[in-house]
Amino acid sequence: MSLEHRSGCPINLALEVFGDKWSLIVIRDIMFGNRRHFNELLAGSDEGIASNVLADRLQRLVGLHMLSRAPDPSHKQKVVYSLTEPAIQLVPVLAHLGAWGVRHLPTSRELSVRAELLERGGPEFWDRFMDELREQHLGIPRPLGVPSAFAELRAAYEAELARA
């Protein structure tokens, strides 16, 4: 994909991966929305991504080893996209980015709830969530008896929806 880099700066290299309007949106929807199929990502996107842009970003992120792609055993035509370990480790970055957005940009109330919960939860909550992603996406079993961070995020969002 990119054999020549603009510089070896960590922030620059991260921007070479995610420095566009759509890549992180795709990661976000897979990570927090558990959207694993092309159509889920296409139709479920609040931002209305175009099918060719989605196809391009999926292919690109697979090439950069941020996502992996596998046929769906239960449906010969479907393809399942999974987060790789590097992508899972974006959780703290996205948590901080979301928290910053809530503080400084005109976010909608119902979509802010999860970002706020993610921020309040702090590193312990992020670790719990990342273990859950490793289970869902990498097939690595997570510790028994630990409550689901994903369920808490979902519950907070549903509760906020019901309040309105």
Whole-number Å distance between alpha carbons of 16 and 92:
19
Report the nearest approach of a copy of itself to the CB of residue 29 (Å).
Answer: 10
59 binds, options a copy of itself, DNA, none, Cβ within 5 to 8 A by partner type: DNA
Which of 72, 119, 86 lies closest to 100 in space, CA to CA? Answer: 119
Residue whose entry in the numeric block shows the structure tokens 């420095």: 19
Residues 6+ apart with CB under 8 A from 61: 23, 26, 27, 67, 87
Interaction residues for a copy of itself, span 123-162 (CB under 8 A): none
Q: Residues interacting with DNA, by CB under 7 A?
A: 20-22, 37-40, 42, 48-53, 55-56, 58-59, 69, 75-79
Q: Residues interacting with a copy of itself, by CB under 8 A?
A: 5-17, 19-22, 24-25, 28, 46-48, 86, 89-90, 92-94, 96-108, 110-112, 115
